[in-house]
Structure 1
Amino acid sequence: MWPATWPVSNRGTLQVKLTYGIIGCGMMGQEHLRNIALLPDTGVAAIYEPDAGMRALAAAAVPGAKMVDSIADLLDVAEVNCLLIASPNYLHLAQLEAIASMRPLPVLVEKPLFTAPEDAPRLAALRAAYPAPIWVAMEYRYMPPVARLIEEAEAATGGIKMLSIREHRFPFLEKVGDWNRFNRNTGGTLVEKCCHFFDLMRHILKSDPVRVMASGGQTVNHLDEVYGGERSDIWDNAYVIVDFASGARAMLELCMFAEGSRYQEEISAVGPTGKIECLVPGPGRFWPAHLGEPPVAQVIVSPRDPKGPRMVEIPVDPQLLEAGDHNGSTFYQHQRFQKAVLGTGHVEVALSDGWWAVAMGLAAQDSARSGRAVDISAEPYAPVAHGETPVRALAAAR
């Protein structure tokens, strides 16, 4: 239920227009703008984007939106009744705290929630006090082929025992100010890029991780890139193995110099009665025109008895493919966020989910650097208070 301070017109199940204030309109922010434009009863009233080039693109995309110079100015726009944060990773938590102190509206915040272990106590404090919904943008859950796999996994496998996620893709794209070339800004590749996959592992297996083992590093990409006299240190490949409390185990294989692949993501789940897998193509704008139409996503079910794989294609609305690089998932995520704000649905990706995804990435990077397995349940990466781990504090604040 909305708190008493929440405007009456935005409580319960009343069908009011959702009017966004946007914080950050770089590449991902503009994908959000294109998808918001496809939603009924939804608009953008104000945009805060400090970079002049990105600000001009955002103004052209949403000519009716007010371009403002700060978060405070954005929150002063009366029409704004929800927020999107799509700024660089290292700004997310401080911006959430600023919003909490001024006008705590419902927020859809891009991943990752934070970038360093010492940030976790601040996240726990925010969750305990924030009076409106906060949804963490884990788009991969909502890719149609991935959603189909999740829906059918239990029946197809008889209970998942092994889960494998492989992403073979292009290198990191150029971002404003080259902020994504440094671990200190992104949280590191296994946080920045792979928190999506760690979130999928928990979501699909319905269990929390207990142990993480990893090997990774910077092998091919960005080796000779220097910015402001500092060499890029962002990783481009890794293997990660995760043991879960349920007894299931999962593996991630990441390669960011494999853009020649037909499919970008391949996910397989296996249990005592069979296997289910999905194959997801990368962004259509990167598919070579001379090869014809881009591939269509597939879901394949392979029972043990009777043997015989069954494949079904999972086409995505071309308009949604055109609107972004995430197989339509950004649109479907906004649909669900809209329902959560209006009281006809619930927050499906909470702050605790966002914390777990980052904690798993930080543990994987620690494991890769140290050459040892990391026990998440016993090794608090970010103590909150009196020896508590962040997950305990977050659970207590729900």
Structure 2
Amino acid sequence: MDLRYGIIGCGMMGQEHLRNIALTPGASVAAIFEPDPAMRARAAELAPGAVMLDSVAEVVAHGAVNCLLIVSPNHMHLAQLEQIAAIRPLPILCEKPLFTDPAEAPRLAALRAAYPAPIWVAMEYRYMPPVAHLIAQAQTATGGIKMLTIREHRFPFLAKVGDWNRFNHNTGGTLVEKCCHFFDLMRLIAGCDPVRVMASAGQAVNHLEERYDGQTPDIWDNAYVIVEFANGLRAMLELCMFAEGARYQEEISAVGPLGKIECLVPGPGRFWPAHLGAAPVPQVIVSPRDPKGPQVLEVPVDPALLAAGDHNGSTFYQHQGFARVVRGAQAVEVSLLDGWWAVAIGMAAQESAATGQVVDLTRAPYAPPAGIGQR
């Protein structure tokens, strides 16, 4: 069975998806809705066989389309999922975050209860080769993870169409928009749900001199977040979005009684200075307690996949998995429940940083609503 995507939104991330769909065997793009003229023109160049349509409804109803990809601004995702459900429920790959307001929980639960087709929430970081290697080896290397640290030192938020990503009311806040990926990784690695969040965060450097219709952006650019899990694992996120000069953008470490495993992930190759030579290669490092001695493994990524996007090949691997779901060969790997938790942890972290209080994730509005389970 060939996949014929209908795509809703083809800005910067949507175009990365187009390039990766082009590399995915048995997949093509049949229809696109992108309201911005410049982005629509670029999407037409990347997917010349796709018809350009004028609404979400037209894409969903297009007869050639047999699966959907949502890559619109964050605050539009849930309403578009509901619109699709009312027209023609098809398998969906929906970009993160799944929603932006905890009050939307009942709507998400109702969608899950009624939607007859699979919905996969896009969490690309799971599929970065060095991160996937760490996840697969972490329990053996550590003897059972007790502490998990994720550090991201990266560039500021890029410019997006209409500057929608400059304001919390559109994004859900930095700890939702940017960091739901990391909270998803924490929960996946922990193997259980979180119970408490504490955070300190703010806007120290970025976007302070920018004005949009007279308003100053309110998205944060640095944070420390600690998440405690039901099994006793403690995880910490260290985020800095004005520190893009390092060799590696993400550093993840997991530690247990037998040792430590780390992965080092470079940022987008297009940002690496040419005068410094070849871009860094991802690494996984295992450091046992006994016998001591770090073991370094390079985890190179196919150059064709690196050229297709900014996420170390993970978007391609995600589409491979989604294709298997559409063909009935496997179950969804990132469910609505996973998408819920990734956002809920981020929102709790936003609240904790704003109030200075620890947030209990076992109570409303952060505990997942009944009915959001695996499909």
Q: Which position in structure 2 is the counterpart of 1:31? A: 16
Aligned pair partner of 1:44 in 26, 29, 48? 29
Q: Is the 8 A contact 1:356 1:391 kept in 2?
A: no
Gaps of at least 5 residues in structure 1 are: 1-15, 383-388
Question: Could you tell me which residue of structure 2 aligns to residue 291 of structure 1?
Answer: 276
- Please give the residue correspondences for 1:311-322 in structure 2 after superposition, counting only pairs within 5 Å: 311-322=296-307
Name the counterpart of 1:147.
Answer: 132
Matches within 5 A, 1:68-217: 68-217=53-202
Q: How far, CA to CA, are the matches of 2:306 and 2:132 in structure 1?
A: 16
Match of 1:381 in 2: 365
RMSD, aligned CA: 0.9
Kept after mapping to 2: 8 A contact 1:363/1:376: yes
d(CA) in 2 for partners of 1:367, 1:202: 19
Q: Which residue of 2 aligns with 1:275?
A: 260
Q: Which residue of 2 aligns with 1:9?
A: none
Taking only the aligned residue pairs, the percentage that are identical comes to 74
- Give the secondary structure class of the aligned counterpart of 1:37: helix
Q: Distance in 2 between matches of 1:75 and 1:66?
A: 13
The equivalent residue for 1:326 is: 311
Q: Say whether the 8 Å CA contact 2:74–2:98 is kept in structure 1.
A: yes
Tell me, yes or no, if the aligned pair for 1:121 and 1:390 is still in contact at 8 Å: no
Letter in 1 for 2:14: G
Aligned residues between the structures: 375
Could you tell me how far apart the structure 2 residues matched to 1:105 and 1:76 are?
Answer: 10
- Match of 1:114, SS state, is coil
Give, in angstroms, the shift of residue 120 of structure 1.
1.4
Q: 2:334 aligned with 1:356, yes or no? A: no
Distance 2:48 2:134 in 1: 39
What TM-score results when the alignment is normalised by the length of structure 1?
A: 0.93
What amino acid maps onto 1:394 in structure 2? I
CA drift of 1:77 comes to 1.4
In structure 2, what residue type is equivalent to 1:178? D
Deviations 1:185-208 (A, max 9, x none): 000000000000000000011011
Q: In 2, distance between residues paired with 1:73 and 1:371?
A: 46
Q: Within 2, Cα distance between the matches of 1:267 and 1:85? A: 29
Deviation string 1:111-142 (CA, Å, 9 cap, x unpaired) is 00000111111111101110000000000000
- The residue aligned with 2:351 is 366
Per the TM alignment, residue 390 of structure 1 is displaced from its structure 2 partner at its CA by: 3.0
Matching residue of 2:213: 228
Q: What TM-score, normalized by structure 2, do the two folds share?
A: 0.99
What displacement does 1:391 show?
A: 3.9
AA at the equivalent of 2:154: R
Distance (whole Å) between structure 2 residues aligned to residue 393 and residue 237 of structure 1 = 34
